[in-house]
Amino acid sequence: MPSRTPLVLRRIYPVAPRDLEQAGTVSTEVRRELLALGMSPDVVRRASVICFEGEMNIVLYSQGGRVILLVKEDRVELLFSDDGPGIADIELVSQPGYSTAPDWARELGFGAGLGINNMEQNSDLFEIRSRVGEGTVVRATILLGVPFF
Amino acid sequence: MKLREIAELVEANFITGADQAEREVSRAFAADLLSDVLAMVQEEGVLLITGMTTPQVVRVAEVMNMGAVLFVRGKLPAAATVEYAMGTGIPLLATRRIMFETCGILYKAGLHAAQRKQMPLDHALPDATRS
Ligand SMILES: Nc1ncnc2c1ncn2[C@@H]1O[C@H](COP(=O)(O)OP(=O)(O)OP(=O)(O)O)[C@@H](O)[C@H]1O
Ligand SMILES: [Mg+2]
């Protein structure tokens, strides 16, 4: 169910494909926004890690997209939306260790196939929707004030 | 362990953050694979020991609130990355020693290993090597 609690903050950050100079800067900005809002260290850390993984996946695998940060009274939502190529088998790519990272991404230290799993592990709610040829949306939600283990 | 002691032990120089030499780092994690750093480190304030010098290393250290980055094998990040690190307040150090030596020296001197998060494929290991 979409939450109907009031919106505290909304930010949209474009992410360029294969831009390795900039890759990761959205996550550092998201972290600063959450710190400025006085979010707990645990929430800031989890959101930052989720964001970095999601941002890198847009950079490495998509034709470009955007990260959307939504802060509501009871939750932090991060949406990673891209303009393709889409994911044919979401279950397959979500398996730890599965990676199609090209050599140039591996040389930069990525491609362990752990990112999606890591995003899910740090989220309270997690969902991937995709249409081949159109794009992918990953939605990661952290519920505020809910104990996290 | 203080960054100053770490620098002395492995003969590292501060690339930036020399004013933070008295900063304590709790534990250390060594890797070139950033995916592993992102997925496995769970505490804050950890020293990252790495031979990877891309801008993403400093950004990962920043978003994970790590204590410092120690580059090994004489590798140095680009000037723009150093400048970026200055703004984040994360000290960067560099040593000519290889990763194995660097880790060995620091471990022997009492720096602890970072706790590694339980990973999804751990059950597939032949025996439980997780500490
Ligand atoms: N936005 C996306 N569009 C298309 N394919 C994607 C997208 N995000 C991930 N994938 C696919 O899912 C695979 C697994 O992604 P995941 O983030 O779990 O691991 P990785 O990026 O390969 O490695 P790591 O994140 O550990 O560096 C990728 O290798 C890629 O094939
Ligand atoms: Mg990934």
For atom 29 of ligand 1, the residue with the nearest CA is A99
Determine, yes or no, domain membership for A148: no
CA–CA separation, A92 and B46 (whole Å): 33
CA dist., res. B22 & res. A36, Å (int): 27
**Domain-located, residue A61:** yes
CA–CA distance, B71 with B3 (Å, rounded to integer): 13
Per the domain annotation, does A24 fall within a domain?
yes
A99 CB under 6 A from ligand 1?
Answer: yes
CA distances from A78 to A62, A119, B42, B76 (A): 17, 10, 20, 33
The ipTM (two decimal places) reads 0.93
Q: Which residues on chain B are in Cβ contact (under 8 Å) with A118?
A: 38-39
Residue A70's CATH number: 3.30.565.10
Summarised one tens digit per residue, pLDDT across range A69-95 is 999 999 999 999 999 999 999 999 999
Q: Are A56 and A115 in contact (CB under 8 A)?
A: yes
CA angle B54, B57, B62 (to 5 degrees): 140
State how far Cα B83 lies from the chain centre: 18
Domains of chain B in sequence order: 3-113 (3.40.1390.20)
Ligand 1 pocket check for A15: Cβ under 6 Å: no
Question: Nearest-CA distance from B83 to chain A in Å?
Answer: 14
Q: How confident is the model at residue B21 (pLDDT cuts 50, 70, 90)?
A: very high
A26 lies in a domain?
yes
pLDDT at A7 exceeding the cut of 70: yes
Domain that residue A55 falls in = 7-143
Domain contains A149: no
Inform me whether the C-beta atom of residue A24 falls under 8 Å from chain B C-beta atoms: yes
Q: Is residue A2 part of a domain?
A: no
A139 alpha-carbon distance from chain centroid: 7
Specify if A139 maps to a domain: yes
Please list all protein residues whose beta carbon sits less than 5 angstroms from ligand 2, which is an ion. Answer: A 57, 115
3-state secondary structure of B103: helix
CA distance A11 to A72: 12
Per-residue confidence at B116, pLDDT binned at 50, 70, 90? confident
**Nearest residue of A to residue B36, measured between CA atoms:** A112
Cβ pair A115:B36 closer than 8 A: no
- Rounded to a whole number of angstroms, the distance from the CA of B72 to the nearest CA of chain A is 15
Q: Which residues contact A25 (CB under 8 A, 6 or more apart)?
A: B59
pLDDT over 60 at A32, yes or no: yes
Q: What is the pLDDT of residue A67?
A: 98
Helices (H), ranges, chain A: 25-36, 41-61, 90-93, 103-107, 115-121
Q: Is it the case that residue B81 has pLDDT exceeding 80?
A: yes
- A125-131 and A135-143 strand pairing: antiparallel
- Ligand 1 within 6 A of CB of A53: yes
Residue A1 lies in a domain: no
| Domains: count for chain A | 1
Q: What span, in angstroms and rounded, lies between the C-alpha atoms of A100 and A114?
A: 12
